[in-house]
Amino acid sequence: MAIRQIIDFVAIKAACENCRLAALCLPAGLEAPDLKRLEQLVRRPHPLRRGAALFRASDRMHAIYAVRAGSFRTYYLAEDGREKVLGFYLPGELLGFDGLGSGQHRCTADALETASVCELPLAQLQELADRLPSLNHQLYRLMSQEIAHDQEMLLLLSDKNAQERLATFLLNLAQRFGKRGFSAGEFHLSMSRQNIANYLGLTLETVSRTFSQFQREGLLSVERRHVRLLDKRRLSVMAGPGRPASSSTAT
Amino acid sequence: MAIRQIIDFVAIKAACENCRLAALCLPAGLEAPDLKRLEQLVRRPHPLRRGAALFRASDRMHAIYAVRAGSFRTYYLAEDGREKVLGFYLPGELLGFDGLGSGQHRCTADALETASVCELPLAQLQELADRLPSLNHQLYRLMSQEIAHDQEMLLLLSDKNAQERLATFLLNLAQRFGKRGFSAGEFHLSMSRQNIANYLGLTLETVSRTFSQFQREGLLSVERRHVRLLDKRRLSVMAGPGRPASSSTAT
DNA sequence: CGCCCGTTTGAGATCGTTCAAGCCAGGTGG
DNA sequence: CCACCTGGCTTGAACGATCTCAAACGGGCG
């Protein structure tokens, strides 16, 4: 498979120090010598294909992951089988902290498209963290961001209507894509309407209708999963309070 | 003031080792020698009266707090002035981590009634944590719990109807009161309907009506802020999926 | 005693859901 | 190569839970 080969090739070359995502990733804020040590821990497993799980709820946590390519979704399964989508993760973003307290993951992460990660084995990471306060602080910072994201979502879910929710979501994605060197005005949604709806606490019909409405109003153009934001200013007004930014583990 | 004197008297005697809340508090899981060191950091400021802020959003974070008596609410102020109540804190529960990442609090905490806290100054706590991996792990565990709580709330806000929300809330409170040696079947709500409503993503009218409905159905009796749960089994069924437990920073 | 605030209760409006039908793109098999 | 099928998406119509607006109640405090 050609794709597999390309990815493996990249994997061999990838190192935190040279990684174009480094600034967004765990290494951010670490000094060169600490970075070297961190780098030695990193594993780069084979890519996952669409739908494959990176980890599952109640799995013993054995690593933190950085998205290298592709994208992920995390969700959480209620006792009665209902799913709740908790977040989406783009390249450079970290996931898997949810287990740091208990040693067990609380949610499942699966790939929305073919995707690959860097893996930081927990045992060695904690050992390193116990000796490097700076790494500890970095981990606190990341968990804090997770909390910040969840609290933004609480505000969104309790106060915002469908338009505000979708606008917030799209601007957030745009901002995160932009930060990664992709276009912030035009992008591909790797998640289905159903996933977006679940994440935003709506039904897929409402998401679909709201997309159509935004398009009629000239705020964006959308065709299946391709979106182009045409009037970010107005979208931003629609999105309402709470920074449109800051979703997921992005800085 | 008599009350003030009593509280000060208790404050002098209180020490983590003897504190009846110790098992629920930060010290849980720490060994005796580490506990001693932690204990030396603790300050016990004067009680706060109803409405007084323990810390405010955008304040520089300089401590973590453990509730000693009374109760607190945390909320988060959106740009347009809308408030979002994030959580309630009972004796033995810890608050104030939200700033661990950035060094700034993201939300405001205020007393719902006369309340007092133990204060763990951040600078010394971090210094201690840098030398005590066990304390670090404890802090991770607590932040993790915060995340767990927020994610339970995300599920509640996106999936549950008013009855499920209120039932979940009441059972959660009951469980937390019970763990603290108060009655788990009958308790006083220190927060207003407005606060409950905001926390649950409803209006105060809906909360009020749902209380009345529960009472008509024999699930509980309620008079102003005094609640007695009469049929926890049925309430539990109503509450739906996601553990009814685990709210806030309680273990 | 009377005011004020938090709460309860009622009636109507609204937004999102539900149920249902149809569309479109991509993949499959004849 | 085309017909068909499937899954994801769009659109419509009616329903319903919650919100909004409004009024009245009741306890606590000056």
Domains and CATH numbers, chain B: 2-148 (2.60.120.10), 160-239 (1.10.10.10)
Q: What is the dihedral sign for C-alpha B207, B210, B216, B218? A: negative
Per-residue pLDDT tens for A112-132?
999 999 999 999 888 888 888
Residue B4 — pLDDT band, cuts 50, 70, 90? very low
For B73-100, give one letter per residue: b (16+ CB within 10 A) or e.
bbbbbbeeebebbbbbbbbbbbbbbbbb
**pLDDT cut 70: percent of chain A above it:** 86
pLDDT at B14: 53
pLDDT of residue B250: 40
Q: Closest Cα partner for A169 from A240, A251, A233?
A: A240
**Percent of chain A residues topping a pLDDT of 90:** 61
Q: Per-residue confidence at A5, pLDDT binned at 50, 70, 90? A: very low
Interface test with A, best of B77, B122, B143 (most A CBs within 10 A): B143
Q: Which positions in strand D are less than 7 Å from the protein's CB atoms?
A: 8-13, 17-22, 27
- Whether A23 and chain B come into contact, CB under 8 Å, resolves to no
Return the SS3 of A65: strand
Distance in angstroms: CA A171, C1' C20: 33
Q: Tell me the shortest Cα–Cα distance from A106 to chain B, in angstroms.
A: 8
Q: What is the rounded CA–CA span in Å between residue A111 and residue A89?
A: 9
Burial of A235 (0-12, 13-18, 19+ CB in 10 A): buried
DSSP B194-240: HHHHHHHTS-HHHHHHHHHHHHHTTSEEEETTEEEES-HHHHHHHH-
Q: Which pLDDT score is estimated for A131? A: 83
Radius of gyration for chain A, computed over Cα atoms and rounded to the nearest angstrom:
18
Spacing of A8 CA from D1 C1' in Å = 39
Mutation site, B64, B151, B194, B237, interface A, largest A CB count within 10 A: B151
pLDDT tens-digit map of B167-201: 999 999 999 999 888 899 999 999 999 999 999 99
Nearest CB to A76; choose among B97, B102, B155: B155
Question: First-to-last CA distance in chain B?
Answer: 35
pLDDT category of residue B244 using cuts at 50, 70 and 90: low
- Taking the C1' atom of every nucleotide in all shown strands and the CA of A208, the nearest one is D10
- Residue of chain A whose Cα is closest to the Cα of B77: A242
Q: CA-to-CA distance for A36 and A91, rounded, in angstroms?
A: 21
Question: In what helix (H) or strand (E) does residue B187 lie, and over which residues does it extend?
Answer: strand B186-188
Q: What is the pLDDT of residues B108-117, one digit of tens each?
A: 999 999 999 9
Amino acid at A8: D
